[in-house]
Amino acid sequence: MKHLVKLLAGLGLVLILSACSQQDADETSAAITTETAEEFVARANAELAELNRKREAAEWVRATYITLDTAIIASAASEAYAEWHSSMVKQALQYEDEDLDAMTRRAIDLLKLGTTLPTPADAAKRKELTMIATELEGMYGAGRYCRDGKDCKALPELEDVLANSRDYDALTNAWQGWRTIAPPMRQKYQRYVELVNEGANELGYGDLGEMWRAGFDMSPADFEQETARLWEQVKPLYDELHCHVRAKLGETYGTDKVPQDGPIPAHLLGNMWSQGWSFIYDLIEPYPGVADLDVDSTLKKKNFSPQEMVRSAENFYVSLGMPRLPDTFWERSQFTKPRDREVVCHASAWGIDGGNDLRIKMCIKQTYDELRTIYHELGHNYYQGAYKDQPRLFQGGANGGFHEAIGDTVTLSMTPQYLAEVGLVAAAGESEEAVINRQMQMALDKIAFLPFGKLIDEWRWGVFSGEIAPENYNAAWWNLRTQYQGITPPVPRSEADFDPGAKFHVPANVSYTRYFLAHILQFQFQRSLCEIAGHEGDLASCSVFGNEEAGDRFYAMMASGQSEPWQDALEKLTGTREMDATAIIDYFDPLMGYLKEQNEGRSCGW
């Protein structure tokens, strides 16, 4: 074969080989000497299309039908991809010192970063890692908490308890119960860390954390500083909110349960991970009864179906001039939790077949929180649809934060006026008190999230670098949770627990800084869209619903995918090349006034 390659090369023929086995890889390395960098990139794009189609099919079936068999199918597909990826990165080395045009260089750089799960070249280890990764996500998806071996509850039911119960002990039980799914993950996770780090080393990164941080068009060290800078910008907002919420929870549960000089018990905030606090709005509402913000009750009263909820989100994007979702979206998506099998309920959006086969996978409940998640997921789908004509290697968000921010930006336009217009609340309140109520509702969602968004990867960066040793996994987790969020576990924790495993993105190997960035970026995007739409007045009162001019500019940025550095994409929409928290600070300016007033005389902090 090698001779044939040389012969063909001598004849000036281009040979396209796929690299699907060790032997093929050797042969390919002979063939590549005949390929220019441009040809190499074109081949990578073509092969990626084929491999991804198979991987996506296997992953979709796995996520919507968790069994031993689908684990085997999905990990085999992931293994095939990993093998191809390692081989291509090796082949790309030959272009390292060549003077390439910017697009070709970028495509090669992105190829190198083109996996979140770098696997070792050793075939047995690669197989082991892809299986562990598949199993970990499956363990999360199929997780159940059973009392005395019966009365088993899956995550959605336990989340309902956290959201709706105000009984301290019932909350403790659900909180603790969900975390019983994680200790069996601990050994596997530890092994996964060893193996992904080995894979990352082979790609030239110190560890997987460094590789994740390398995906932001700046050095990993600069990126770390950048996230620290953004956190410092928004921390004062969080501190005021924390102080006020702690005081209100003290009124509800008693200051013996919620000491006013320490962290808040994690299970009292309405959410399994204390990451968003909107479900305790009723306890915090600044001016009771002033504004009708109760979308939940409308959804229930009008008995909205999951499809109708998704339609409402789609209508928003269509109002911005974006296309309707294809029929296949409605046929192939999973909107509700199947009764007869285990699935991964954690919401996700899929851009299968290069964005030609868009789907969401959710277990939709009739709540406002879920409606916002639907808007969020469709943001991913519209992004995937917008960049589908880019070469495969450029089909991605300008950075991970952009991908998470599109749908969230749209949710910022779900103002009371918009909600009233589409019949989700009776009428929009315009008074100052109504504005503060609304701001509080938003803050419990958006500001409460910020430290959580920051710390998840800080924990993982430490784990991957070895700074956090396996025997400190849980203690380090709670140190960060307390340091950043000012929360504390309701019951003692130890290294027999593995609480990070009870949060989807950890067993599912999804990096998390993207959400932190998205919570900053979405306000920057919104500020620009509102300027384009000619909005006058407070940023918080702006909805771009129905504004095609804003929609066109947004879509133009989305259509460029990952073809240019995110700084360029950001500049085109916002005129600045920096992520910057002044927009979120402006947005919540009215609420900050209220919080500072409320917190006067209280001693804040923990």
Q: Are 200 and 211 in contact (CB under 8 A)?
A: yes
Catalytic: which of 56, 314, 404, 458?
A: 404
DSSP for residue 482: I
Among this protein's residues, is 347 annotated catalytic?
A: yes
Helix (H) or strand (E) run with residue 194 in it:
helix 186-202
Geometric angle at alpha carbon 269, from 264 and 271, rounded to 5°: 130
What token pair was written down for 353? 């077949």
Catalytic: which of 38, 46, 76, 505?
A: 505
Catalytic: which of 85, 244, 267, 380?
A: 380
Shortest spacing between CB 370 and ligand X8Z, in angstroms: 10
Instruction: Say how far residue 31 (Cα) sits from the centre of its chain.
Output: 39
Residue with tokens 């191809």: 84
CB within 8 Å of 198: residues ≥ 6 apart: 120, 125
Catalytic: which of 85, 242, 244, 376?
A: 376
CA distance 95 to 150: 60
Among this protein's residues, is 505 annotated catalytic?
A: yes
Closer CB to ligand X8Z, 29 or 275, in the complex = 275
Which residue's CB atom is positioned nearest to Zn ion? 404
Shortest spacing between CB 363 and ligand X8Z, in angstroms: 11
How many angstroms separate the Cα of 300 from the Cα of each of 166, 365, 415? 21, 10, 20
Shortest spacing between CB 449 and ligand X8Z, in angstroms: 7
Geometric angle at alpha carbon 69, from 65 and 73, rounded to 5°: 90
Closer CB to ligand X8Z, 108 or 378, in the complex = 378
Shortest spacing between CB 515 and ligand X8Z, in angstroms: 4
Which residue's CB atom is positioned nearest to ligand X8Z? 347
Q: What is the DSSP string of 308-364?
A: HHHHHHHHHHHHTTPPPPPHHHHHH-B-S--SSS----S-EEEEHHHHTEEEEE---
Closer CB to Zn ion, 284 or 309, in the complex = 309
Strands 144-147 and 348-351, sheet pairing:
unpaired
The residue type at 384: Q
Q: x/- site string to Zn ion, residues 354 to 393, per CB under 5 A?
A: ----------------------------------------
Q: What is the DSSP string of 205-216?
A: -SSHHHHHHTSS
Q: What is the DSSP string of 275-290?
A: S--GGGHHHH-SSTTS
* Total Cβ atoms within 10 A of residue 299: 21
Q: x/- site string to Zn ion, residues 394 to 423, per CB under 5 A?
A: ----------x-------------------
Closer CB to ligand X8Z, 211 or 345, in the complex = 345
Shortest spacing between CB 377 and ligand X8Z, in angstroms: 7
375 binds, among Zn ion, ligand X8Z, none (CB under 5 to 8 A by kind): none
Shortest spacing between CB 347 and ligand X8Z, in angstroms: 4
Instruction: Of 12, 135, 113, 18, give the one whose Cα is nearest residue 68.
Output: 135
Catalytic: which of 224, 377, 518, 594?
A: 377
348 binds, among ligand X8Z, Zn ion, none (CB under 5 to 8 A by kind): ligand X8Z
Catalytic: which of 515, 555, 587, 594?
A: 515
Instruction: Of 570, 572, 566, 558, give the one whose Cα is nearest residue 382.
Output: 558
Closer CB to ligand X8Z, 32 or 272, in the complex = 272
Alpha-carbon dihedral sign for residues 40, 43, 49, 54: negative
Closer CB to ligand X8Z, 373 or 437, in the complex = 373
373 binds, among Zn ion, ligand X8Z, none (CB under 5 to 8 A by kind): ligand X8Z
CA distance 578 to 569: 11
Sequence length of the chain is: 606
Closer CB to ligand X8Z, 173 or 373, in the complex = 373
The site that binds Zn ion (CB under 5 A) totals a number of residues, namely 1
Closer CB to ligand X8Z, 411 or 599, in the complex = 411
Shortest spacing between CB 376 and Zn ion, in angstroms: 6
Catalytic: which of 347, 420, 475, 559?
A: 347
Residues that bind ligand X8Z (CB under 6 A): 275, 347-348, 373, 376, 515
119 binds, among Zn ion, ligand X8Z, none (CB under 5 to 8 A by kind): none
Among this protein's residues, is 515 annotated catalytic?
A: yes
Instruction: Of 224, 108, 106, 210, give the one whose Cα is nearest residue 568.
Output: 106
Among this protein's residues, is 244 annotated catalytic?
A: no
Shortest spacing between CB 604 and Zn ion, in angstroms: 32
As annotated, the active-site residues are 346-347, 376-377, 380, 404, 505, 515
Chain positions contacting Zn ion, by CB under 5 A: 404
